[in-house]
Amino acid sequence: MDLLGSLKSYFTTKYVITDNLMCRLHHKASVGVLLAFSILVTGKQYVGDPIDCISKDSVPGNLLDTYCWIHKTFSVPTAWHGKLGDDVPYPGVAPHTEGDPKVYHGYYQWVCFVLMLQALFFYVPRYLWKTIEGRRIQSLTEQLSSPMQDKATLEKARGMVVDYLVTNRGFHGGYFFGFVFTEMLYFVNVVAQIFVMDKFLGGEFSTYGARVIEFTEWHWEARYDPMIKVFPRMTKCTFHMFGTSGDLQKHDAVCVLPINIINEKIYVFLWFWFIILSIITGLFLIYRMVTIVSSAVRFNIMYSRNRNVQSENLREIVEKIGTADWFIFYQISKNVEPGHMKEFVDHYAEELDVGIKSDRRKLMDQK
Q: How confident is the model at residue 277 (pLDDT cuts 50, 70, 90)?
A: very high
Query: What's the half-sphere exposure (Cβ side, CA atoms, 13 Å) at 64?
Result: 21
> In residues, how long is the chain?
367
Give the mean model confidence (pLDDT) for residues 140-159: 86
The per-residue pLDDT for range 298-307, each reduced to its tens digit, is 999 999 999 9
Looking at residue 252, its pLDDT comes to 82
222-231, 244-253, 280-289: which is most confident: 280-289
**Mean pLDDT computed over every residue of the chain:** 85
Give the mean model confidence (pLDDT) for residues 5-21: 69
Radius of gyration of the chain (CA): 30
Give the mean model confidence (pLDDT) for residues 164-180: 95
Q: How confident is the model at residue 220 (pLDDT cuts 50, 70, 90)?
A: very low
Looking at residue 49, its pLDDT comes to 81
Position with higher pLDDT, 355 vs 300: 300
The per-residue pLDDT for range 60-88, each reduced to its tens digit, is 778 888 888 888 888 888 777 766 666 77
Looking at residue 292, its pLDDT comes to 97
Q: Is the pLDDT score of 144 beyond 60?
A: yes
Give the mean model confidence (pLDDT) for residues 39-47: 88
d(CA 201, CA 49): 22
| pTM assigned to the model | 0.86
Q: Is the pLDDT score of 142 beyond 80?
A: yes
Q: How confident is the model at residue 180 (pLDDT cuts 50, 70, 90)?
A: very high
The per-residue pLDDT for range 234-264, each reduced to its tens digit, is 888 888 776 655 556 777 888 888 888 899 8
Looking at residue 103, its pLDDT comes to 84
Give the mean model confidence (pLDDT) for residues 258-281: 94
Q: Is the pLDDT score of 268 beyond 50?
A: yes
Looking at residue 301, its pLDDT comes to 96
